[in-house]
């Protein structure tokens, strides 16, 4: 079984988000980058498939050389090899085309991506990729079992979940539940050492266009100061929620 | 040109975000000087004419074996076919789990420009330009697309709805779905009698300060008097005190209700990332230094075990009097 895990390289969740002075770009200065949290669940799930069901796991990122430490970390966690497609990930459509080109060559049985990247919150790449390959796409996937060429999956829906069966190959947009938080693999020393010599192939981008363009960034309007209410006077809160905030 | 809107229904019933999508589409169509057409799937038990109150006059109902259970490829193919029958070039979709499964597939099939996570009406429809939220609500940015077909996926509850006058005509349509990748829903498990978080107008949320799952009764009582959904912080769901589907924040569900009450939650940056778009935020915490107070509109420093039951009583009393 060949598994591809798509890894998005994103600012650490504690990052302060700033934009360049002309508001045209995200300001990366001083920002720590990590594996997208949703992709971490998928990566660990893939490593389990490797350990228990003999899968080979390839990790892939569309990005410039700066993302290689993130791919090396995924190798240290246990992926067999890595691919970096050397391009700026301009929009979801562009990125999906890049991944689709690799996927068409390598015939993966399973492609695991994340529900969304926590930077641009697009939630676009996995579904676009699936549609380009014309294979099933299960988003918000919180459970995945593979037997032979059949998959049984659990997908989050509004207010609940549903079970799905499908044949491989397919694409999932994964999240917590693929594995639990406590199961997430972290690199150990041996993994870090062996990651240095695992293959990381750099491929040029294929010709592709993008369909959206970014205008200017801004920060959300700051909150006005909090109004503190005495714990013995909850009636005042009720009246503020009714008269001032008009939410009850 | 015309606007096609996916009108989702849940076991035949429409919800607020269906109306929000209808209104979004009607207003966009008005900006474009054209009409908007709603598409809904399966058997509808609600009175479809109410859609008209949100500005749509035409709804097409697609029935049959292809649409008895949700399949993103079939919905996408059907929306595309309705569009081709009606000159549709602009699609409006509410960012529910199903909406998010349909949109990227539809984008490829129609070669459309897809803009997701949208929080406002378009500022222009030529090229289509909309504001979207990025970096888990820590930033906003305008996006535009100048390709012929375009898809807007907005965050539920972000643009709001206002009920007006009007009535919609619903007719049965027929479409060809063609050969699409197969996947089958084998079981649906929807929590009954609870308001799903993304569409809850009010949310009561508990954190580690609640000490244990046995104390959630007071959270649920407060939620009940407010007609609110319940949520929790990440450690609370990680420890199994509450189901994962209640976990809000950067790595859980992002919500933007009218009222968010955070009880015994410190206000970590990852938690705030998923809730800071709420219109009004109340924080209840026994630590006056808790970071949540910086993000809240109203705050009470106090012991949750004392404050929450009192607040529930006060709201009950208020409701009885008003
Ligand atoms: C990659 C990553 C992603 C994350 N994503 C999320 C996310 O999506 N959502 C999320 O919530 N967290 C997320 N976190 C975790 C986050 O950093 C915090 O650890 C978490 O939000 C803290 O939860 P809490 O506020 O319930 O608990 P604590 O931080 O332990 O806070 C408990 C609070 O309760 C108060 N308290 C205690 N007793 C009482 C009482 N009797 N009455 C009133 N108040 C009381 C305390 O003063 C304290 O402020 C993430 C972390 C990481 C690293
Ligand atoms: N530049 C990228 N390189 C590799 N995978 C990506 C990239 N961008 C997004 N993905 C994958 O697609 C998922 C959803 O991302 P997005 O559509 O950007 O929200 C991520 O969780 C990744 O698995």
The verdict on B39 and B161 lying in the same domain is: yes
Rounded distance between C-alpha atoms, residue A87 and residue A167, angstroms: 32
Phi, psi of B24 (to 5 degrees): -60, -45
Residues B152 and B296 grouped into a single domain: no
Pocket test for ligand 1, best of B222, B271, B301 (most atoms within 8 A of CB): B271
Contact state of A140 with B147 under an 8 Å Cβ cutoff:
no
Q: Is B212 in the pocket of ligand 1 (CB under 6 A)?
A: no
* B42 plus B159 within the same structural domain: yes
d(CA A55, CA A154): 21
**Is the domain of B97 the same as that of B206?**
no
* Whole-prediction pTM: 0.96
Residue A27 contacts B, CB cutoff 8 Å? no
A184 CB within 8 Å of a chain B CB: no
- Per-residue pLDDT of chain A (248 residues), as tens digits, is 999 999 999 999 999 999 999 999 999 999 999 999 999 999 999 999 999 999 999 999 999 999 999 999 999 999 999 999 999 999 999 999 999 999 999 999 999 999 999 999 999 999 999 999 999 999 999 999 999 999 999 999 998 999 999 999 999 999 999 999 999 999 999 999 999 999 999 999 999 999 999 999 999 988 889 999 999 999 999 999 999 999 99
Task: Say yes or no: B133 and B267 in one domain.
Answer: no
Say which of B73, B247, B251 has its CB closest to residue A37: B251
B126 and B51 inside one domain: yes
Q: Which helix (H) or strand (E) holds A141?
A: strand A137-147
In a domain, residue B181? The reply is no
Q: Note whether residue B79 is domain-resident.
A: yes
Q: Which ligand is nearest to the CA of A184?
A: 1
B224 contacts: CB under 8 Å, gap ≥ 6: none
Split into its structural domains, chain B has a count of 2
Prediction ipTM score: 0.96
Token pair belonging to B92: 């409006």
Nearest beta carbon to residue B306 from set A126, A157, A231:
A231
Question: Quick one: which H or E segment has residue B298?
Answer: strand B298-301
Domain shared by B113 and B247, yes or no? no
Do B147 and A211 lie within an 8 Å CB cutoff? Answer: yes
Is the C-alpha dihedral spanning A43, A44, A48, A51 positive or negative?
positive
First to last CA, chain A: 55
Give a yes or no: residue B224 inside a domain: yes
Pairing of strands B2-6, B88-94: parallel
Q: Which of B140, B173, B206 is the last residue of a domain?
A: B173
Q: Which residues have C-beta atoms less than 6 Å from ligand 2?
A: A 6-8, 36, 38-39, 60-63, 89, 92, 95, 113-114, 116-117, 120, 122-126
Atom number, ligand 2, closest to the C-alpha of residue A114: 21
Are B134 and B207 in the same domain? Answer: no
> Are residues B116 and B242 located together in one domain of the fold?
no
**Inter-residue long-range contacts of A57-60, CB under 8 Å, 24+ positions, other chains counted:** A57/A3, A57/A5, A58/A2, A58/A3, A58/A4, A58/A5, A58/A82, A58/A83, A58/A106, A58/A108, A59/A4, A59/A5, A59/A6, A59/A7, A59/A83, A60/A4, A60/A5, A60/A6, A60/A7, A60/A84, A60/A85, A60/A99, A60/A102
As a whole number, the mean pLDDT across chain B is 96
Does residue B215 share a domain with residue B167? Answer: no
First to last CA, chain B: 48
B265 Cα–ligand 1 center, Å: 5
**Mean pLDDT to the nearest integer, B101-120:** 98
CATH of the domain at B6: 3.40.50.620
Residue B51 lies in a domain: yes
Residue B189 resides in a domain: no
Has residue B192 been placed in a domain?
no
Which ligand is in closest contact with the Cα of A123? Answer: 2
Let me know: does B152 contact B128? Beta carbons within 8 Å.
yes
- Looking at the structure, tell me whether residues B155 and B35 fall in a common domain: yes
DSSP letter at B239 equals: T
Give every strand in the sheet of A200-204, ordered side by side. Answer: A200-204, A81-86, A56-62, A2-6, A110-114, A170-174, A137-147, A150-157, A160-167, B183-190
β-pairing, A150-157 vs A137-147, is: antiparallel
Residue B314 shares a structural domain with residue B211: yes
Contact A121, B136 (CB under 8 A): yes
End position of a domain, from candidates B173, B206, B241: B173
**Residue B304 sits in a domain of what CATH number?**
3.40.50.1220
3-state secondary structure A219-232: CCCCCCCCEEECCC
* B182–A237 C-beta distance less than 8 A: no
B77 belongs to a structural domain: yes
Which of A26, A28, A36, A234 is the best residue to mutate to test the B interface, defined by the most B CB atoms within 10 Å of its own CB? A234
Query: How far is it, in rounded angstroms, from Cα A121 to Cα B299?
Result: 30
The answer to the question of residue B191 being in a domain is no
Print the domain residue range for B280. Answer: 197-321
For residues A82 and A71, is the Cβ–Cβ distance under 8 A? yes
> Per-residue pLDDT tens for B230-252?
999 999 999 999 998 899 999 99
Task: Find the B121 Cα to ligand 1 centroid distance in Å.
Answer: 34
Total number of residues shown for chain B: 322
Q: Does ligand 1 have an atom closer than 6 angstroms to the CB of B274?
A: yes
């Amino acid at each position: 079984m060949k598994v591809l895990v798509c890894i998005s390289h994103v600012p650490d969740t504690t990052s302060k988000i700033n934009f360049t002075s002309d508001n045209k770009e995200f300001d990366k200065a001083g920002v720590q980058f990590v594996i997208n949290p949703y992709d971490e669940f998928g990566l660990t799930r893939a490593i389990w498939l490797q350990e228990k069901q003999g899968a080979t796991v390839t990790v892939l990122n569309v990005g410039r050389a700066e993302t290689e430490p993130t791919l090396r970390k995924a190798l240290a966690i246990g992926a067999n090899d890595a691919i970096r497609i050397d391009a700026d990930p301009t929009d979801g459509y562009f990125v999906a085309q890049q991944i689709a080109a690799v996927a068409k060559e390598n015939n993966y049985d399973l492609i695991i991506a994340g529900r969304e990247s926590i930077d641009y919150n697009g939630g676009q790449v996995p579904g676009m990729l699936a549609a380009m390959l014309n294979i099933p796409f299960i988003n918000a996937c919180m459970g995945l079992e593979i037997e032979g060429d059949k998959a049984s999956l659990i997908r989050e829906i509004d207010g609940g979940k549903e079970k799905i069966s499908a044949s491989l190959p397919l694409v999932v947009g994964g999240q917590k539940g693929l594995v639990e938080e406590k199961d997430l693999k972290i690199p150990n020393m041996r993994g870090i050492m062996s990651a240095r010599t695992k293959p990381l192939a750099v491929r040029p981008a294929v010709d592709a266009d993008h369909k959206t363009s970014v205008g200017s960034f801004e920060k959300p309007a700051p909150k006005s100061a909090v109004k503190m209410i005495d714990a013995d006077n909850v009636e005042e809160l009720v009246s503020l929620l009714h008269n001032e905030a008009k939410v009850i | 040109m015309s606007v096609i809107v996916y009108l989702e229904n849940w076991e035949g019933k429409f919800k607020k975000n269906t109306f929000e999508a209808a209104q979004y589409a009607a207003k966009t169509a008005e900006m474009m000087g054209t009409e908007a057409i709603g598409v809904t799937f399966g058997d509808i038990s609600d009175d479809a004419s109410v859609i008209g109150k949100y500005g749509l006059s035409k709804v097409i109902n697609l029935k049959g074996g292809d649409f008895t259970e949700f399949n993103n490829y079939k919905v996408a193919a059907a929306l595309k076919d309705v569009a081709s029958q009606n000159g549709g070039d602009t699609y409006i979709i509410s960012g529910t789990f199903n909406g998010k499964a349909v949109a990227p597939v539809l984008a490829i099939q129609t070669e459309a420009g897809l803009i997701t996570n949208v929080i406002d009406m378009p500022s222009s429809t030529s090229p289509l330009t909309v504001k979207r939220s990025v970096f888990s609500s820590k930033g906003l940015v305008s996006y535009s697309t100048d390709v012929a077909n375009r898809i807007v996926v907005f965050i539920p509850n972000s643009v709001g709805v206002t009920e007006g006058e009007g009535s919609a005509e619903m007719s049965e349509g027929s479409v060809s779905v063609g050969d699409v990748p197969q996947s089958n829903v084998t079981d649906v498990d929807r929590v009954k009698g609870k308001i799903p978080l993304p569409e809850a107008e009010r949310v009561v949320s508990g954190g580690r300060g609640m000490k244990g799952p046995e104390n959630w009764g007071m959270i649920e009582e407060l939620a009940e008097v407010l007609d609110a959904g319940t949520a929790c912080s990440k450690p609370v769901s990680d420890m199994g005190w509450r189901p994962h589907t209640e976990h809000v924040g950067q790595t859980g569900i992002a919500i933007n209700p009218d009222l968010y009450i955070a009880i015994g939650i410190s206000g970590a940056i990852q938690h705030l990332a998923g809730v800071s778009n709420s219109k009004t935020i109340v924080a209840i915490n026994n630590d006056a230094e808790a970071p949540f107070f910086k993000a809240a509109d109203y705050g009470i420093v106090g012991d949750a075990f004392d404050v929450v039951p009192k607040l529930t009583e006060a709201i009950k009393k208020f409701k009885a009097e008003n």
